[in-house]
C-alpha cells in the first residue's frame, strides 16, 4: 500500500524527512477493523513528529497522520483519532493514533472497531477528513470546557488554523457572537465568511470583552486574551503555535475571576456529538487545499509557512 511516513526525523528540515512509498498493510488485531482511506489531513502534530518530537521511539517507518475518512465494512466513516491509555478512558492519558504506531496517511489502516463513526452525508472526503483532530478539539473547548451558551461573545485568537476555523463555525452555529484576530487582512475576511461577526488585527482593543476566549496561538496573544476576557469569563488553551511560554497578570486573573482551562483532543462521546452537530447544522470545514498523497510535502511546507486558512488535506484514493 502507499503511505506517507518518516524513517529519520529532522529537526532542521522536517519537510525533507517525509517519505511516500510502499509499505505492508497493517494487520487488524482482534476488535480492530480495516479502513480503506479516501482522504486525510495534516496537523501541527505531524510536523512535531517529523522533527522527532514524539512519544514513540523511531524504529522503522512511522506512518504520519491522525485525521482520516474512508470506507469500513461498506460504510463511509470518519476515524476517531485518539487511543486511551490502558485501563483509562481519560483524554489526558491518551495518545494520538500515529504516536501509538497507527498513523492514517495510508491507503489502508487498522483502527479499533469502535473508532469509526458515520461520515456526515453532506461532506466530501476532504471535508470529512478535516474533522477528527481540529474540530474535536474545538468542540471540547467550546462546549465541555467553556460551557458555551447562545448569545455569548467568543474571541478566537489567530483566525487561520484548523482549530480556530472550526471554533468560528461551531460557535456561530451555536448562537454565539464570534470575533477573531489575525495579522492577515485576507484571513480576517475569510473568517467573516465563515460566520465571524467581526475581525480585528492581532492585539487590537475589542469593542467589548469576551465571555469565552479560544487560545491556540500562545506567547504572541495570551496577554491580549487575558485583557479581552470579561469578569467571570473563560479562557481555553489547547496549544501555542507562537510559543509555549506566556506572561500572566495575576491581578487581572483573580480580580476578574477569570477561569483558565487547558484542553486536549476529546472523548469518543464528544466526537460523536461533534459529528451530530456538524450534520444537524450542515457545517462545512474550511479546507485550504487538497493534494494527492505523493504531494504531501507541499502541504507540510504550507503549514510551516503559516499562510494556510483551514485544513491542509491529502487525497489518498
Give pLDDT tens digits for 240-254. Answer: 888 888 888 898 899
**For a pLDDT cut of 70, what percent of the chain falls above it?**
96
Cell of 285: 470545514
Write down the pLDDT at residue 63: 96
Stated as kind and residue range, the H or E segment containing 99 is: none
Query: Cβ distance 36 to 25 under 8 Å?
Result: no
Q: Which of 165, 129, 105 is nearest to 296 (CA)?
A: 105
**For a pLDDT cut of 90, what percent of the chain falls above it?**
83
Write down the pLDDT at residue 20: 98
Query: Cβ distance 133 to 162 under 8 Å?
Result: yes
Distance CA 57, CA 232 (A): 43
Query: Cβ distance 45 to 236 under 8 Å?
Result: no
Residue 10, Cβ density class (10 Å: 0-12 exposed, 13-18 middle, ≥19 buried): middle
Of the given ranges (13-22, 208-217, 242-251), which has the lowest mean pLDDT?
A: 242-251
Write down the pLDDT at residue 24: 95
Distance CA 151, CA 160 (A): 23
Mean of all residue pLDDT scores within the chain: 93
Write down the pLDDT at residue 91: 72
3-state helix, strand, coil in the chain (%, to 5): 30, 30, 40
Going by pLDDT thresholds of 50, 70 and 90, the confidence category of residue 172 is: very high
Going by pLDDT thresholds of 50, 70 and 90, the confidence category of residue 86 is: low
The pLDDT tens digits for 88-135 are 556 766 789 999 889 999 999 999 999 999 999 999 999 999 999 999
Cell of 55: 512519544
Distance CA 301, CA 126 (A): 19
Query: Cβ distance 198 to 179 under 8 Å?
Result: yes
146, 236, 244, 245 from 68: Cα distances, Å: 27, 26, 28, 31
Query: What is the mean predicted confidence (pLDDT) over 27-33?
Result: 93
Q: What is the pTM of this model?
A: 0.94
Write down the pLDDT at residue 68: 98
The pLDDT tens digits for 118-128 are 999 999 999 99
- Which residues lie below 8 Å from residue 140, measured CB to CB, with a gap of 6+? 91, 263, 265, 266, 267, 270
Give me the residues paired with residue 291 across strands.
314
Amino acid at each position: 500500500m502507499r503511505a506517507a511516513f518518516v524513517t529519520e526525523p529532522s529537526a532542521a528540515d522536517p519537510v525533507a524527512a517525509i517519505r511516500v512509498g510502499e509499505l505492508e498493510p497493517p494487520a487488524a488485531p482482534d476488535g480492530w477493523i480495516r479502513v480503506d482511506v479516501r482522504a486525510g489531513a495534516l496537523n501541527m502534530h505531524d510536523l512535531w513528529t517529523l522533527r522527532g518530537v514524539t512519544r514513540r521511539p523511531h524504529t522503522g517507518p512511522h506512518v504520519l497522520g491522525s485525521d482520516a475518512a474512508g470506507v469500513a465494512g461498506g460504510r463511509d466513516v470518519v476515524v476517531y483519532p485518539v487511543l486511551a491509555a490502558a485501563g483509562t478512558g481519560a483524554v489526558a492519558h491518551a495518545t494520538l493514533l500515529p504516536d501509538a504506531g497507527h498513523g492514517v496517511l495510508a491507503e489502508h489502516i487498522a483502527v479499533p472497531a469502535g473508532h469509526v463513526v458515520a461520515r456526515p452525508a453532506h461532506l466530501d472526503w476532504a471535508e470529512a477528513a478535516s474533522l477528527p483532530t481540529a474540530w474535536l478539539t474545538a468542540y471540547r473547548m467550546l462546549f465541555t470546557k467553556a460551557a458555551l451558551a447562545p448569545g455569548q461573545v467568543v474571541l478566537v485568537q489567530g483566525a487561520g488554523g484548523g482549530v480556530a476555523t472550526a471554533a468560528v463555525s461551531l460557535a456561530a452555529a451555536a448562537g454565539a457572537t464570534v470575533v477573531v484576530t489575525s495579522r492577515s487582512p485576507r484571513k480576517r475576511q475569510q473568517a467573516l465568511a465563515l460566520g465571524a461577526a467581526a475581525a480585528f488585527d492581532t492585539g487590537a482593543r475589542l469593542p467589548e470583552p469576551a465571555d469565552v476566549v479560544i487560545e491556540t496561538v500562545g506567547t504572541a496573544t495570551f496577554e491580549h486574551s487575558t485583557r479581552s476576557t470579561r469578569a467571570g469569563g473563560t479562557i481555553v488553551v489547547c496549544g501555542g503555535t507562537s510559543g509555549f511560554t506566556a506572561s500572566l497578570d495575576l491581578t487581572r486573573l483573580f480580580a476578574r475571576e477569570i477561569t483558565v482551562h487547558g484542553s486536549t483532543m476529546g472523548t469518543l462521546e464528544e466526537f460523536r456529538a461533534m459529528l451530530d452537530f456538524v450534520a444537524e447544522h450542515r457545517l462545512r470545514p474550511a479546507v485550504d487545499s487538497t493534494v494527492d498523497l505523493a504531494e504531501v510535502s507541499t502541504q507540510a511546507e504550507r503549514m510551516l509557512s503559516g499562510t494556510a486558512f483551514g485544513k491542509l488535506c491529502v487525497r489518498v484514493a
